[in-house]
A and B are shown apart, each in its own frame.
Chain A
């Protein structure tokens, strides 16, 4: 079945550092790819998404590019802030409103 693998955390960075969180997937067909973020004590919320190969999703300074050739969707941000401290989940869905398949999450801590 479909699966998502993301780098294990926790990741600790200093403020203004560059962030990369790796995500690779295994899926049949052409899935849509997502990054969700979970701030402490809250539910998940969509950060960005990409629905086809070479699409770039972006939001709040975060970016991820759908790379079909490497089956990857790595999350990047050029300069992290303390407020970016959260757990980040990579996910995929095959089509329409079908269940999301999540990675295990990566906890990011940004220190001032």
Chain B
């Protein structure tokens, strides 16, 4: 099992550009989520999904879109990047209350 994979590992964007952060898991977990990690702020939930076709907002959803067309994939879209979205992004899947995290995507928005 590869677990939870994320691509890219690092990305630089200009303000206003769009991009998609990819997340995939091969553990057949129904629940997946996206977090951002900022210094001194811990992890904050952006969006989550309890299964294919179902998504919901977390604590900081503004500026981000998600979709869940398959159990395996849960991409995070930035439609118009802003410097405030500079962060490290983690995707996770969950089974029986335990969350399994990907290695993260470090995003810099100039």
Q: Given A102-B42, A104-B40, decide whether A97 and B104 contact each other with a Cβ distance below 8 A.
A: no
A89 beta carbon closer than 8 Å to chain B: yes
Q: Of B31, B43, B45, which is within 8 A of A97 by CB?
A: B31
CB pair B103–A97 under 8 Å, yes or no, is no
Residues of A within 8 A of B94 (CB): 97
CB pair A43–B42 under 8 Å, yes or no, is no
A22 beta carbon closer than 8 Å to chain B: no
Residues of A within 8 A of B41 (CB): 104
CB pair A49–B97 under 8 Å, yes or no, is yes
Q: Of A44, A51, A102, A103, which is within 8 A of B97 by CB?
A: A51
Nearest chain B residue, comparing its CB with the CB of A45: B101
Expressed in whole angstroms, the minimum distance between the Cβ of A31 and any Cβ of chain B is: 10
Residues on B lying within 8 angstroms of A by beta carbon are 4, 30-31, 33, 40-45, 48, 50, 58, 90, 92, 94-104
Residues of A within 8 A of B4 (CB): 43
Expressed in whole angstroms, the minimum distance between the Cβ of B21 and any Cβ of chain A is: 14
CB pair A46–B43 under 8 Å, yes or no, is no
Residues of A within 8 A of B96 (CB): 97
Residues of B within 8 A of A45 (CB): 100-101
Residues of A within 8 A of B92 (CB): 43-44
